[in-house]
Amino acid sequence: MDKKAVFDFDKTLVTVNTFPIWIVFVITYSTVKLDFKSEIVQLLWKRKISKIISHDQFKSDLLKVELEEKYHLIFAKFISNFKNEKCINELTQLKNQNYKIAISSAAPEHYLKATINQIFPNHQFLVIGANLKGNQFSGNYKEEKRKNLIQSGFIKFSEEIDLFYTDSFDDYALAQQANQLILVSPDKESYRKFKETYNKEIKII
C-alpha cells in the first residue's frame, strides 16, 4: 500500500496565517491598480463591525469576488518568503521516498495552489483549500478536511494516514486518522489538548 502524508499549510508549511494577509493584499493591490475592490471592504464591515454574517459566509462571499490570476501569482510569490524550511525539508524528503502527499488547508484554494506551485514547481501533490464549486462552499476546516480527502480518493474512509503535519488542534478529526502526528510549532493550548486526547505517537518540530 502507498505511504501517505498530509500537511496543513498555514503555520505549518508557512510560518504565518495567510488569510488575513491575503485580504490586506487584495485591498492594497486593487487600489494601486485603480481597480479598488469595494465589495471586500463591505464584507469586512458586515463581518467585523456589524457582525451580521458568519465567518463561513464571509469567506464564501470573498471567494465570489472576481480577481485576475495575477493577484494569486503575486501573492504566492510574496507568501513563499515565509516558508517553514524545516517542514518544507521534511516534505521534500518524503516526496523523494515516494510518499503520496496531500496539502489540505482552510486557506482559499486559488492562492493556496498558486503558492504550492511557487514553492514546489512541477509537483504532483493533491492540494485542497477552501473553495466554491457551483454555489457549494467548502471551508475545508476541521472535519471537512477529512471528508474532502476521502471524497478526493486520497484516502479511504477507515484508512490510516502514515504522517500528518499540523500546528493546530482544529485538525483533531484528521489527526485521529493518522498513524503519527507531527506538530509544527504548536501553540500551548493545541499541544495541551493533543497530549490529553491523542493516544498515538506525537512528534514536535
Domain end, chosen from 30, 48, 77, is at: 77
Residue 91 near residue 7, CB atoms below 8 Å = yes
Residues 104 and 154 in one domain: yes
State residue 201's pLDDT score.
82
Residues 87 and 33 in one domain: no
The domain in which residue 32 lies consists of 18-77
Task: Work out how many domains the chain is built from and give that number.
Answer: 2
Residues 123 and 175 in one domain: yes
State residue 94's pLDDT score.
97
Q: CATH code at 107? A: 3.40.50.1000
pLDDT digits (tens, 9 = 90+) for 154-184: 999 889 999 999 999 999 999 999 999 999 9
Residues 39 and 135 in one domain: no
Residues 98 and 164 in one domain: yes
Residues 38 and 54 in one domain: yes
Got the DSSP string for 103-171? EEEEEEHHHHHHHHHHHSTT---EEEEEEEETTEEE---THHHHHHHHHTTSS-TTPPEEEEEES-GGG
Domain end, chosen from 77, 92, 116, is at: 77
Cα torsion for 161, 133, 114, 182, to the nearest 10°?
Answer: -20
Residues 102 and 169 in one domain: yes
**pTM for the whole thing?**
0.94
Closest C-alpha among 161, 183, 18 to residue 102 = 161
pLDDT digits (tens, 9 = 90+) for 82-134: 999 999 999 999 999 999 999 999 999 999 999 999 999 989 999 999 999 87
